Amino acid sequence: MENIPTWTCVVALALRDGKGRWLMHRRPADKHHGGLWEFPGGKVETGETPRNALVREIDEELGLVIEPAACAPVGFAEETSGEGRPPIVIMLYTSVWDGSGMGALEGGEIDWFTPEEAELLAKPPLDVALAAKLFAKGVI
């Protein structure tokens, strides 16, 4: 039997407001990639679809309830190797913020950035790739 590679599926949300800005989450200092900015999201659990995992993760991280149908897939980024762990593939979805209250419930901070500002933020490598693809597509 051949070895079948494993990977970790992660979902992330590129949430935009009505002013051309995008929400980014700064990871808590004590976490992997601590202090770096990313699109909020998290791991897909066994039995979940990526879209349903995104809805759950955004509720847990931000206290923001979004409808699955309001999330549109826009791209993905993948690691070539996982440095001793299964590589990560991040599936990026986009949605429009409805003005509901939210906060960084699991630590760190959140803020809104224009595409130009977001591109200058220190980000993990996969978020760098996702931001480049998102803003190059002109999803704004």
11-67 pLDDT, tens digit per residue, is 999 999 999 999 999 998 888 787 999 999 999 999 999 999 999 999 999 999 999
Q: Which DSSP string corresponds to 88-107? A: EEEEEEEEE--S-----TTS
> Residue 137 has what pLDDT?
63
Q: Please give the Cα distance from 85 to 99 (Å, whole number).
A: 38
Please state the length of the chain. 140
Nearest to 12 by CA among 61, 67, 48: 61
CA dihedral 127, 9, 102, 95 (to 10 degrees): 70
Q: Above 90 in pLDDT, residue 2?
A: no
Query: Domain holding 43: CATH number?
Result: 3.90.79.10
> Residue 62 has what pLDDT?
97
Q: Please give the Cα distance from 79 to 8 (Å, whole number).
A: 10
3 falls within a domain:
no
Give the domain range for residue 26: 8-137
In this predicted model, what pLDDT tens digit does every residue of 81-103 receive, in sequence order?
A: 767 788 999 999 999 999 999 99
2 falls within a domain:
no
Q: Which tokens belong to 130?
A: 């996702």
Q: Which tokens belong to 69?
A: 């149908």
